[in-house]
């Protein structure tokens, strides 16, 4: 949990405490919801444009508490994830095509002491597109993605150049001494591909 989340959660707890505490004080008779004399009315005014006048000041407990809860919920709401759309076509490839999209490298500031110390702010304004097909030259390009809202990358028609056919290769398959998991699986995998 980040410090920001802790503060926001504390605000929500404080707001809830005010509402519940207000109910408890009303029940105990410490504060009253009955109208007070006009001279005791609570008045809040801001630049003569915003003015609240109430003869029931006890209600402020509940309003302030609700405000704390609402603001905390607003801050804790996760940011909306905007998808990035890609449009295009790969032509002339008669092999299964794999398309990988990944963010551009996020670099930490360099120094000569060998220490790793820095922050990375995830930036999806540039992404790298990699198109691969067995035996074909890979296609790689970087794409600038528009700001929030318009997030569409048009790739047009792409052509890959064939280098090798499957029949050019001589298969060499050693027997496995154990049963292998399937090539495509949702199970966690190890290693990070370069």
Partner 1 sequence: MQAALGVAMLCTAPKDAAQPFMGQTVPVQGQLISRNQGPVPGLTVFLLHPMLGRSMPSITDQYGRFGWVAIPLRPEAYFLEIYWGPNLVYRQAVQVMQPLTIAPIFL
Residue ranges binding partner 1 (CB under 8 A): 95-96, 98, 100, 130, 132-138, 163-166, 168-174, 176-178, 180-181, 183, 185, 187-194
Q: Which residues pair with 103 in a beta bridge?
A: 127
* Angstrom distance (rounded) from CA 181 to CA 183: 7
Residue 39 region by backbone torsions, left for phi larger than 0, else alpha for psi between -120 and 50, else beta = alpha
Q: How far is the CB of 155 from partner 1 (least distance, A)?
A: 18
Phi, then psi, of 15 in degrees rounded to 5: -65, -45
Query: Which of 79, 60, 76, 80 is closest to 13 using CA atoms?
Result: 76
Q: Which is nearer to partner 1, 51 or 163 (CB)?
A: 163
Shortest reach from residue 99's CB to partner 1, in Å: 11
For residues 34 and 192, which CB has a smaller minimum distance to partner 1 in the complex? 192
For the CB of residue 76, give the shortest distance to partner 1 in the complex, in Å.
33
Report the residue number, 73 or 130, with the smaller CB distance to partner 1.
Answer: 130
């Amino acid at each position: 949990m980040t410090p920001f989340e802790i503060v926001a959660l504390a605000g929500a707890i404080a707001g809830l405490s005010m509402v519940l505490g207000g109910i408890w004080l009303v029940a105990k008779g410490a504060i009253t919801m009955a109208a007070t004399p006009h001279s005791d009315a609570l008045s809040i005014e801001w630049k003569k444009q915003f003015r609240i006048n109430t003869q029931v000041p006890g209600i402020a407990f509940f309003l302030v508490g609700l405000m704390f809860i609402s603001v905390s919920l607003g801050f804790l709401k996760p940011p909306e994830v905007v998808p990035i759309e890609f449009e295009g076509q790969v032509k002339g490839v008669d092999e299964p095509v794999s398309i990988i999209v990944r963010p551009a490298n996020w670099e930490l500031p360099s120094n000569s002491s060998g220490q790793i110390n820095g922050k990375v702010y995830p930036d999806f304004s540039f992404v790298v597109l990699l198109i691969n097909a067995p035996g074909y030259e890979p296609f790689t390009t970087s794409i600038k993605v528009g700001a929030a809202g318009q997030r569409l990358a048009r790739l047009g028609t792409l052509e890959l150049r064939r280098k090798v056919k499957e029949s050019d290769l001589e298969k060499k398959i050693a027997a496995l001494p154990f049963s292998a998991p399937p090539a495509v699986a949702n199970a966690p995998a190890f290693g990070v591909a370069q």
